[in-house]
Amino acid sequence: MAFSAFQLRFVQLLLVVLGVAFILFQLPSTHKETAPTQEVWGDPGDNFDDIRNETLGVQKVFAINLASRPDKRDNIVLGSSVSNFHVEWIDGVTPDEIDNKSYPYNWNHDQKRTEYAARRAHVNGLQRIVQERLTSAIIMEDDADWDVSLKLQLQSFAHAVRALQSQDTQKIPTQSPYGDDWDILWLGHCGLSCKTDLPFYLTPNDPTIPMPRHFRPLWRDSPIFEGHERPDHSRLVCTASDGVCSMFYAVSYRGAQRILAALSVNPSGLAEEINIGAQFDISLGRMCGNGYLRCFAPFPSITGGFRQAGSKAKSSDINDETGEQAGFSSSGVMYSTMLNINRILKGERTVHATWDDVDVLDVIPGDITMKQGAIYGI
């Protein structure tokens, strides 16, 4: 939903990209590409396996969808079905459904009413997590796409975030396979900056990372990704200080309570420190940045976005877009679930990469493997 909104935020995105460049500059030049050899599965009893369950290791997975867009609901229902996880729905919100009285006092009315409606849908999701006392949940927007290896990617990510939360990697978290001390896991974004004074984690040889030239359009020409130290095939995980686009994230119960407080119940506590009268993703980034929330994120983003063929207007429910007809496309994902739907349903053994210029064009999903990485900057 927020996809095309980031055109409006070019400057913000630039700042974010510069933040990432900063941390990439700081990566140790001698780090070992091949040293860690342990597979990411883990041992029985250490609960990494829970991530492969019907709800990706959190208690519920929600997707936000407007009643007027059953086409997008079809995508998520079918995609999650072939990926073996279960999605529940949060109704999207239209501006007409929002009484003017219900805007928080600090909402910046220069922004579009559709942007508040989109934020309200996310807040409704957080409200539901608190209402249902969910230990943790995932919220996605309905134009999400993910790799066929999503569960393995999430297991790999869990190794990283657990290491960043507790340097005692033998300690098994009790609340969540992703660790017990986080508010947000920002799994799907279109820009990120990291807290560079804190350690970060690097997972080498991840076969599902798109090359930088395939990053979202605004990044493609960005020189700062060239020739720097994050090897192209390594995934970085850091404590996030900002992010753009709230396409796919996990939130803990504590995180949902805190965001509900900050964006609705009593914004004044935080509004004095940071401006949170903004779109959901921008407000979220600010809450991560000032330490109100403890946020972790991968770079590049794990999940991506899917666009159906047809007029450009189909893609965003926030902005009115006009433009040429276009084909099906996916961004940010190497082995796209959505683009491979027909192959998967036909029972073909392999899936096809989103781009032709990759190391492995056709892969058997079960053959994708990931090794554990290592923490740096302690």
**Partners of residue 296 on adjacent β-strands:** 185, 239
46 binds ligand NAG (CB under 6 A): no
- Give backbone dihedrals phi and psi of 219, rounded to 5 degrees, phi first: -90, -20
26 or 166, CB closer to ligand NAG?
166
100 or 322, CB closer to ligand NAG?
100
What does the alpha-carbon distance between residue 211 and residue 332 come to, in Å, rounded to a whole number? 9
* Least Cβ distance, residue 64 to ligand NAG (angstroms): 21
Query: Among 128, 121, 135, 120, which Cα is nearest to 183's?
Result: 135
277 binds ligand NAG (CB under 6 A): no
What does the alpha-carbon distance between residue 116 and residue 173 come to, in Å, rounded to a whole number? 36
* Least Cβ distance, residue 317 to ligand NAG (angstroms): 19
* Least Cβ distance, residue 97 to ligand NAG (angstroms): 12
55 binds ligand NAG (CB under 6 A): yes
Query: What's the residue count for the chain?
Result: 378
* Least Cβ distance, residue 176 to ligand NAG (angstroms): 6
Helix or strand (DSSP H, E) at 80: helix 70-82
What does the alpha-carbon distance between residue 188 and residue 180 come to, in Å, rounded to a whole number? 21
* Least Cβ distance, residue 357 to ligand NAG (angstroms): 37
- The footprint of ligand NAG on residues 150-189 (CB under 6 A) is 176-177
What percentage of the chain's residues is helix, strand, coil (to nearest 5)?
35, 20, 45
DSSP symbol at 58: S
* Least Cβ distance, residue 129 to ligand NAG (angstroms): 13
Q: Of 42, 57, 207, 373, which one interacts with ligand NAG (CB under 6 A)?
A: 57
57 or 305, CB closer to ligand NAG?
57
- The footprint of ligand NAG on residues 78-107 (CB under 6 A) is 100
DSSP symbol at 336: B
- What is the contact surface with ligand NAG in residues (CB under 6 A)? 47, 50, 53-55, 57, 59, 100, 109, 135, 176-177
